[in-house]
Amino acid sequence: MAVVRIFVADEAGEDVSELTSGGRPVVRLTAPDLQWAKRGTARIHADRLGVAVILDVAVAVPGDFRASAAAGTVHYAGSVAGLAGLIADIDSAGVADGVTLVPTTALPVGELRKLGQDVLRRLADREPRSA
């Protein structure tokens, strides 16, 4: 698995910054569920060669499901380990090329960046080690 691209959004969900280093231009995608996101990613890849599709994922960690469910996009409420698992699944299933972590509550951008870095560490720990 290549390194999945991870972005974080500000409280308004508008201003984003990348925690990883990707070279391709990106297109953000908002989708109500993962099936819709996968179809949307396929359409975008077909129409715009060379772009990375980045799925918005509304997060509440530790979880407040009501806040994340109201976000209008794929949402996650739970542990950091569970979020890392979701992102790994999004990547391995070809749902998107990365994610934008969008806060569902007034989570400061600095805290969201820490969450994203923790997710990246957990994803790296999942990588098989070369002998």
SS3 4: coil
User: What separation in angstroms does the CA of 114 have from each of 44, 108, 130?
Assistant: 30, 10, 28
> From CA 54, how far away is CA 19, in angstroms rounded?
13
pTM: 0.85
pLDDT digits (tens, 9 = 90+) for 40-99: 999 999 999 899 999 999 988 665 555 555 667 898 888 899 999 999 999 999 999 999
User: Is residue 54 within 8 Å of 99, Cβ to Cβ?
Assistant: yes
